[in-house]
A = this chain, B = another copy of it.
Amino acid sequence: MAYTAVELIELKRDGEPLPADGIEWLIAAYTDGTVPDYQMAAMAMAIVLNGMNAEELGVWTNAMLNSGDVLDLSDIPFPKVDKHSTGGVGDKISIPLAPLIAACGVTVPMMSGRGLGHTGGTLDKLESIPGFSPRIDQRRFREIVAAHNLVLAGQSETMVPADQKLYALRDSTGTVPSIPLISSSIMSKKLSEGLDGLLLDVKTGSGAFMKDLDGSRDLARTMVGVGIRSGVETVALITDMDQPLGHEVGNANEIKESVDVLNGHGPPDVTELTLAFGEVMLELAGIGGGRERLEETIASGSALAKLKEVTLALGGDPAVLQDTSLLETATFRSVLPSPGDGYVTRCDALTIGLAATRLGAGRERKEDGVDHGVGLTLHAKVGDRVARGEPLVTAVYGDEARWEAQRDKLASAWSIDELPPKTRPLIIERIDRSRI
């Protein structure tokens, strides 16, 4: 081999670009254990501080992608499109969106993750459905996609192993916040799905990984660039995450709200994002009909039917999707009232997400479990008028001590003022091949 790990680390440390064959060797050698964690940790920190250019990033992403199995769905005759969100609070959009798009004739081979910190994860939410088992092997994944045009599953351990290793390492070495490393992690996983098109929902605001719009725009442009250079048409929408999406936060709570959307009576913001994302995914799939087609597919019941169908295929009990009151609910219930009269000017996503996690709806460490029946129902969101004593939020939880520890922090998420707030739109910006 023409390179040693130290030589490559030194190049990046000194601000030089890494050669393509060097990156390919490094990722392969890290995956098979030839390059130890401590060398990759030094490299990751050098990348956090000195960056990577678009060419390096493309090679790095492809090397990660090629570190394991890649799905070949070329025998499936439909357009294959997926959506990825950078993560937020109350962000259940994938759950109504994926079956809606699949019911329109687009194949959606969606691999999702679990929640960590203040953000929830699609797999945790789906596991609120009794029996739902998202850990399937590649063979079963292909069978379900072929039969239903849709799968909602976890990533197999044989896919993108370099990312699985590197992600854990970054988490314990302070090397998470790097646009190239975040982009290559996300894009290597998504590009391993054998897609024709990809929609990226890049969150911005208090509850997002990227708190400010500039950072979110950088991340969106970088990822769209990686996707398009890899031959997958990619569009990013930058969306607001200053407050949670919808009224429900927590696993069973969010399944209920997702079903509401597919029954045509979801909250306005969740419904709007589902339809707006759906329009872009139909466009990426080259399928016409737009919003009207999506609304008809919901109204006809075929989107909800598709969710039940894939739930059954993955071992879950679709009865809870028919009657969401059958979903698990935690034992205790408390309501926090508004301390005053006025307009809600702040309903802070990070604060609410952390409180939900600490009540048991999420996990602070990867190895923790989640309590599917724990959740929050937000009664007042930004712009709403509230009177003193009216409910701001209802919490359901299983541990009274945890509630005592969280209630004041949770209450601090809301600000009530005399004047109505200045708001920003739900969808802030679109980044596509014309804007990278």
Contact = CB atoms under 8 A, between A and B. Distances in A.
Most buried by B among A5, A13, A42: A42
A10 interface: yes
A173 interface: yes
Nearest to A45: B45
Contacts of A172: 5-6, 38-39
A169 interface: yes
A44 interface: yes
A169 B45 contact: no
B49 A173 contact: no
B50 A173 contact: no
Contacts of A182: none
Contact of A39 (B46, B48, B49, B173): B173
Nearest to A8: B174
Contacts of A10: 174
A89 to B, nearest CB: 22
Contacts of A5: 172
A144 interface: no
B46 A13 contact: no
A351 interface: no
A45 B14 CA distance: 11
Contacts of A63: none
Interface in A43-72: 44-46, 48-50
Interface in A10-60: 10, 13, 36-42, 44-46, 48-50
Most buried by B among A6, A172, A173: A173
Nearest to A39: B173
A173 B6 CA distance: 6
Q: How large is the interface on A (under 10, 10 to 19, 20 to 34, 35 or more residues)?
A: 20 to 34
Contacts of A311: none
Tally of this chain's copies: 2
A9 interface: yes
A203 to B, nearest CB: 21
A243 interface: no
Interface string A156-174: 0000000000000100111
Contact of A38 (B6, B49, B173): B173
Contact of A49 (B37, B44, B50, B169): B50
A175 interface: yes
Contact of A37 (B38, B45, B46, B175): B38
Nearest to A46: B45
Nearest to A175: B42
Contacts of A39: 41, 172-173
Interface of A: 5-6, 9-10, 13, 36-42, 44-46, 48-50, 169, 172-175
30 contacts: A5-B172, A9-B45, A9-B173, A9-B174, A13-B45, A13-B48, A13-B49, A36-B37, A36-B38, A37-B37, A37-B38, A38-B40, A38-B41, A38-B169, A38-B172, A38-B173, A39-B41, A39-B173, A41-B41, A41-B42, A41-B45, A41-B173, A42-B42, A42-B44, A42-B173, A42-B174, A45-B45, A45-B46, A46-B174, A49-B49
Query: Which 7 pairs from chain A and chain B are nearest by CB?
Result: A9-B174, A42-B173, A45-B45, A37-B38, A38-B41, A41-B41, A10-B174
